[in-house]
Structures are given as C-alpha cells and as structure tokens.
Amino acid sequence: MTGSQRLVARVFGRVQGVGFRWWVRTRAEELGLVGWVANDPDERTVSLVAEGPPELLDRLEAMLWQGPPSARVERVETDRHPASGEFAGFQIARP
C-alpha cells in the first residue's frame, strides 16, 4: 500500500447501540478503505483502524464527527501511522 496511511481513531459519546459500527463500515467501504471498527468495553466509545490514501482517511475522519442520525459524537481522538497492509477488507470486530 504505497502512499497509504493508517488512521487510528476513538469516538466518544452516544456511539454504541445506535448503529455506529455499521455506519462506519459502510462509509469506509464506500471510500475503499480497509480495517476494522469495534465497540469498546466501556460502552461509551467506538475504536477503529482504517488504512488507505491520506485524502480518503481525511474524509472518513471528518465523517466520524457526524455519525449516523441517532448518534451524538462528543469527541474524536485520532492518530496517523504508516499503513501495515494487513487488511483485506473492512470488518466489524467484536470487543
């Protein structure tokens, strides 16, 4: 994945029980990104890892602040790293 990056994000707020993981997976697949998304055990956050071109990760990162209609995002923490190339698609992971 030459030129690709890894976005590591944690989304805080009302993001569990509102379809947030499914929404993230759909957005990531639409953008052609690979990785995973999962509910965190604390019941208030969702974590995700996405890999792809930086400009598409920027778009996903901006979308995370909105989420699906029933979500209420309070904060998004992100970090960027070089892509690992370990993913073949985008999955919903179990905590």
List active site positions.
Answer: 21, 39
Cβ-contact 36, 91 below 8 angstroms: yes
**pTM for the model:** 0.93
Q: What is the pLDDT of residues 22-35, one digit of tens each?
A: 999 999 999 999 99
CB 74 within 8 A of CB 42: no
Percentage, residues of the chain above pLDDT 90: 94
Task: Report the pLDDT averaged over residues 37-42.
Answer: 96
- Edge to edge, the sheet with strand 72-82 lists 72-82, 5-14, 45-52, 34-39, 90-92
